[in-house]
Each structure stands twice: as structure tokens, then as C-alpha cells.
Chains A and B, each alone.
Chain A
């Protein structure tokens, strides 16, 4: 049964709110932004058709409160809720609350959210769907952890079961560190996710973070190509590209099949991303986790597929069958994305909130900037530091990188310190330009190239 969406409540902020509003405007859907006190005058509030106050500035009292979001949606007569990414995007309580209030939740079913929201459950589903997983297992206590460690060997990773964003994730180099690190990871996990459970995984020395974008309608699914997100600092992505460079065709096809197998196994409806660890030496891959939401880096997939992923996401949320078959997915050229954050790289990436004086953006063929800031915008200290995403599409990787270099030289965000210089240095790096760097690359690059650049 399909429910046409007429009025959409966007329960998020920042560039993703502005991004969803743009698609609403194109589709003739009325957009209502649910904003905290800190965001009532921000650009997304100016772009939305309507604005509703969600709560005070701290996220726990606004963007992270499922009941407040449902109340806001009902108060404005919305028929659907888009959660964006982060905040409540993968929270089953919001999906459940929407269902009970008769609202369409623009995301997967409550069952799917439960299935992939917990890393151990997700791992079990991946195994059931026939995906390879990184050797590892549960670590309910020290004895269990020692038993798993004996099997997978050192170094290994301790990961939060309910985790994400690198919190609760720690590396253990030897048996002597296990007990202490287990405790530390467990308290961090409890603080960040309210769930102290952790598990162990083999640490792959030279791995690349490659992910496959999928879209499902609950009965069938399509794979929309892959992305490489290996350029990370403390498990936070800084630069993404599509397709992932230097992957053998056979492996790329296997990764897409694996992602589809998991989506079909779950009866997945919505946009989702299957995150994989690509082992450079072995030319093989492992399942890491599945993200049941639209992601920050979705524009690189949009650039190479020519699709509006938000529009596709809304269509399947309305209950419509997929509008494209796998053979309709044609990838063109190469796209890259630079995340511009309000951070000071010269001071260990210290946050830089404040007032933005002036914003000048590059425009032209193949250049897209997703942002929620303009001259006069205030960057509040309560939320994450993403200011803008520069997305550049070229005929091939070298062309995309060259265009990105030129575009970065034109981009100005004055008033706060940004990571633009980091991207300029990154795009000038020979190892990075060659392609296929692993997740350990960026820390090496920071101590090498950035030190020289500054």
C-alpha cells in the first residue's frame, strides 16, 4: 500500500536538512523543518516552507528526543518524517513512534533497524546471508575475550556492540593490554551508546574502507555502486570517492553481490550502506556493518549514477516499488567529496564554532556544494563541525581530483577556521593521488605532508 507524502517533517539540521528540503522543493512536497533553538534562524529554516520548534539547543532535548519529533510532526500535520543521518536516523524508537502515530518514517522498518543496529546481530545476519566477516566474537567478560583473542590473534580491535563513529573502538596490540582496554572500551561504549557490550575483531593491518550503496523496496534491491572512505582520522571520514579506485573487477562485483544478498536477506526497504573492509594484500573483503540511513557521502554516488537518492528514498518510503532495475544503474566518471569542517588542523583539529563572515562557493560544471552556511551564519557549539561538502565530478579520477583542486582554491569560508587547507594538502599528496590508500594513510599523511605544508 502506498502513502503519498505531501508534507514532510525534517527532523535534522545542517547540510542534510538543506539537502532534503531541496528535493522536497523539486518534488512539490511541503517541507517542515523541526529545529532546535540554536537553529531557528539557520539557512535550512530559511529554505524550508515551514519551521517548527523542536526544543532547546542541546541535542538530547531536541534532535535526540523521539517523542518530541513525533509531537512536532503531528502538530504541523506532517504525514512523514525524514530523520537525515546521525541523531535518530537509526533509532527504532522513532520508527516505532512514527508507526504508532500513523506517520511514514523515511527509513527502514523497525525490524531492519533492530537487525543492523547492533553490530553482533548485524554480523549474525551477514553470516546468514553468506557474507564473509572479520574473524572475531563476543567478549562478555575477560575470560570470553581471552578465548576469542586466542583464536583471532593480536593485534585486535575492541568494538562497541551498539557503536558507531569510532567511539568504544580500541586497538589491542598484545595480551597484556587486553583487560585494561576492554574496560576502557566498555565504559566509553556505555557513555556513548548506553550499552557497555563490546566484541573483538581481528585487526587488519592494511585495510580499505569500501562501502556499497543499496536501495531496497522491501522485496527487491539494487546496488548503486561503491564508495571508498578510507581517508579517516580517528574513524571519522574526511574524504570520499566513487567508485572505489583500484579494486579488481571480480572483487567489485562480489562486493555488490554481497551487499545485495544482505539487503534481500533482510527484506530491506530504504537506502542502506553495507560497509566492507577490503584487505589490500589478500584482495578479499569482510563485512563490517550496515548503515540503515542516508549517509554524509551519498552525493558522490548521486554524481556517478545521476540519481537523486533522497527522491528514491522518499519513493520507497511511500511504499512504491523500485523505479529502477540493476541494469538501469549506469556509473559515469568519478566523483570525490571533501568534508569541510569547522576545525583547526594546526591545533589537533580543535573545534572552531563562531560566526561566519563570508562564504564564497565555487560553481560550474561538475561542481556541487552542499552546505547550510552563508555570510552571517552562526556555527553553534552543540553539534558536529561539518560546514559544507564540496563534491566534484570528473570524467575519471585524475580529472575529478584536478577539478577539486581548482574548486578548493576558489572556496572561501571566512570567520571560523576550516579544514580547507587539509584538503588542499591532501589533494597535493602523491601517495593519495595514486589511489587506493588504506585507513592508516591519513595519520601518516598528517605527520608528513601537513607538517610540511604548515
Chain B
């Protein structure tokens, strides 16, 4: 059962004339709670569609990706992990085909950009946050990085 905005409006019309303060409706596929908020502020609805979608066809549209290797969250003693400011897809270069921002062996300062993370179509630069030398990349170009992932490892100067 799906409810359109018009259906909800009809239900509200009935409620408005009834003086009820709350209505809870539950079917096999959906739960809907309507509640009168405050004195005269208005009505709110909390709705849950319960039906679990059945995916009918498993199209192998493109080459399936292998599961990415789990990221090693620990780094060696005396080394510093550079982690993303928020989860997203990590890019090591400003655009496809361009040289990487930094590579293994490169010196970095606090504010050196080591890559960018794309989250919800927005690009956020990742800064080294430490002065030193890049010794390892743990997350590859174009790979997804969780918030606690290690993108690269820096040996402080």
C-alpha cells in the first residue's frame, strides 16, 4: 500500500474534524503515525515502508569489482598515518592522467595536499598534517576510504 500526499491530506481532513491528537496506521507493508504537534503548529507524519525490495535481475553490467583489501589501520612506531577528513573516494591526482600530488619519498609539510576525497560529489583536499617524508600509500587512486582508513604514511622529520 502506498500513500500519496493526497491520501495523507484526506486522512488529515478526517482527523481535523475528529479532535483526535494522534493516529497510528499499520498495514503489512507500511506504518504511518500522524501526530498533532504543539498547540496549533500543525501535523507531522512518520512513515515506514516495510516491504523489502526483491531484486529480480542481477545484471552484470560491467566487470565486477573485487572486494577492496581491508585497510591496515595501524602504522609502525614513529610513523604518522594520514586519514581522510571524511569518508569518500580517494584521488591521488587533481584529475585523471595528471601526476600525483605527492609520491613515496616526497617531502611534505603540514599543509601539503596529499590527495583529495570525493564525498557526495564534493571534493575535499587531504593535508599531510605533519612535516616529513611519505613512506607508503595504503589507499590507491580511485579507491573508497572509510573515515578511519589510512591513506598514506609519513615519517616525521
Cβ-based interface call for A130 (8 A): no
When the two chains form their complex, are residues B12 and A363 in contact, meaning their CB atoms are under 8 A apart? yes
- A349 CB to closest chain B CB (Å) equals 8
Nearest CB to that of A386 among chain B residues? B120
Complex Cα distance A61/B59, Å?
A: 12
When the two chains form their complex, are residues B120 and A22 in contact, meaning their CB atoms are under 8 A apart? no
Nearest CB to that of B29 among chain A residues? A46
Q: Which residues does chain A contribute within 8 Å of B79, judged by CB atoms?
A: none
When the two chains form their complex, are residues A52 and B59 in contact, meaning their CB atoms are under 8 A apart? yes
Q: Which residues does chain B contribute within 8 Å of A26, judged by CB atoms?
A: 4
When the two chains form their complex, are residues B88 and A381 in contact, meaning their CB atoms are under 8 A apart? yes
When the two chains form their complex, are residues B120 and A383 in contact, meaning their CB atoms are under 8 A apart? yes
Question: Known interface pairs A22-B4, A61-B61, A76-B57. Does A385 touch B120 (Cβ–Cβ under 8 Å)?
Answer: yes
Complex Cα distance A365/B12, Å?
A: 9
Complex Cα distance A117/B25, Å?
A: 47
What DSSP secondary structure best describes chain A's contact surface?
Answer: mixed
Q: Which residues does chain B contribute within 8 Å of A376, judged by CB atoms?
A: 48
Q: Kindly identify, within residues 32 to 62 of chain B, every residue whose CB is under 8 Å from any CB belonging to chain A.
A: 34, 37, 41-59, 61-62
When the two chains form their complex, are residues B53 and A381 in contact, meaning their CB atoms are under 8 A apart? no
When the two chains form their complex, are residues B122 and A409 in contact, meaning their CB atoms are under 8 A apart? no
Chain B interface: which size bin?
35 or more
Q: Which residues does chain B contribute within 8 Å of A410, judged by CB atoms?
A: 37, 41-44
- A223 CB to closest chain B CB (Å) equals 26
The contact of A406 among B41, B64, B89, B122, by CB within 8 Å, is B41
Chain A proximity mask over B61-76: 1 for CB below 8 Å, otherwise 0:
1101100000000000
Complex Cα distance A412/B51, Å?
A: 23
Q: Which residues does chain B contribute within 8 Å of A45, judged by CB atoms?
A: 53, 55
The contact of A360 among B46, B50, B55, by CB within 8 Å, is B46
- B25 CB to closest chain A CB (Å) equals 13
Question: Known interface pairs A406-B42, A409-B41. Does A56 touch B62 (Cβ–Cβ under 8 Å)?
Answer: yes
Question: Known interface pairs A25-B2, A191-B96, A360-B45. Does A381 touch B120 (Cβ–Cβ under 8 Å)?
Answer: yes
Q: Kindly identify, within residues 31 to 59 of chain A, every residue whose CB is under 8 Å from any CB belonging to chain B.
A: 33, 35, 40-41, 43, 45-48, 50-56, 58
The contact of B57 among A75, A368, A412, by CB within 8 Å, is A75
Nearest CB to that of B146 among chain A residues? A381
- B43 CB to closest chain A CB (Å) equals 5
Q: Which residues does chain B contribute within 8 Å of A35, judged by CB atoms?
A: 55
Q: Which residues does chain B contribute within 8 Å of A332, judged by CB atoms?
A: none
Question: Known interface pairs A363-B12, A383-B120. Does A65 touch B62 (Cβ–Cβ under 8 Å)?
Answer: yes
Cβ-based interface call for A353 (8 A): yes
When the two chains form their complex, are residues B56 and A51 in contact, meaning their CB atoms are under 8 A apart? yes
Nearest CB to that of A167 among chain B residues? B121
Cβ-based interface call for A28 (8 A): no
Complex Cα distance A342/B119, Å?
A: 11
When the two chains form their complex, are residues B95 and A190 in contact, meaning their CB atoms are under 8 A apart? yes
The contact of B64 among A56, A71, A361, by CB within 8 Å, is A56
Complex Cα distance A192/B133, Å?
A: 32
- A114 CB to closest chain B CB (Å) equals 25
The contact of A46 among B51, B65, B86, by CB within 8 Å, is B51
Cβ-based interface call for A384 (8 A): yes
- A23 CB to closest chain B CB (Å) equals 10
Complex Cα distance A380/B124, Å?
A: 16
Complex Cα distance A76/B122, Å?
A: 34
- A309 CB to closest chain B CB (Å) equals 15
Question: Known interface pairs A50-B56, A67-B61, A381-B87. Does A375 touch B46 (Cβ–Cβ under 8 Å)?
Answer: yes
The contact of B49 among A46, A55, A363, A381, by CB within 8 Å, is A46
Cβ-based interface call for B8 (8 A): yes
Question: Known interface pairs A363-B34, A374-B49, A381-B119. Does A51 touch B61 (Cβ–Cβ under 8 Å)?
Answer: no
Cβ-based interface call for B19 (8 A): no
Question: Known interface pairs A61-B62, A75-B59. Does A353 touch B120 (Cβ–Cβ under 8 Å)?
Answer: yes
Q: Kindly identify, within residues 350 to 400 of chain A, every residue whose CB is under 8 Å from any CB belonging to chain B.
A: 350-351, 353, 358-365, 367-368, 374-376, 381-385
Q: Which residues does chain A contribute within 8 Å of B34, judged by CB atoms?
A: 363
Cβ-based interface call for A345 (8 A): no
When the two chains form their complex, are residues B47 and A374 in contact, meaning their CB atoms are under 8 A apart? yes
Question: Known interface pairs A46-B52, A383-B120. Does A54 touch B43 (Cβ–Cβ under 8 Å)?
Answer: no
Cβ-based interface call for B99 (8 A): no
Nearest CB to that of B8 among chain A residues? A363
Q: Which residues does chain A contribute within 8 Å of B2, judged by CB atoms?
A: 22, 25, 47
Q: Which residues does chain A contribute within 8 Å of B78, judged by CB atoms?
A: none
Nearest CB to that of B48 among chain A residues? A374
Q: Which residues does chain B contribute within 8 Å of A446, judged by CB atoms?
A: none
- B155 CB to closest chain A CB (Å) equals 30
When the two chains form their complex, are residues B62 and A363 in contact, meaning their CB atoms are under 8 A apart? no
25 intermolecular pairs with C-beta atoms under 8 Å apart: A25-B4, A26-B4, A40-B55, A45-B55, A46-B49, A46-B51, A46-B53, A48-B53, A51-B56, A52-B56, A53-B57, A55-B59, A55-B62, A56-B65, A68-B62, A191-B95, A350-B85, A360-B45, A363-B8, A363-B9, A363-B34, A363-B44, A368-B5, A375-B46, A384-B120
* A-B residue pairs, 9 tightest by C-beta: A68-B61, A45-B53, A351-B120, A191-B95, A55-B61, A351-B119, A385-B120, A46-B49, A363-B45
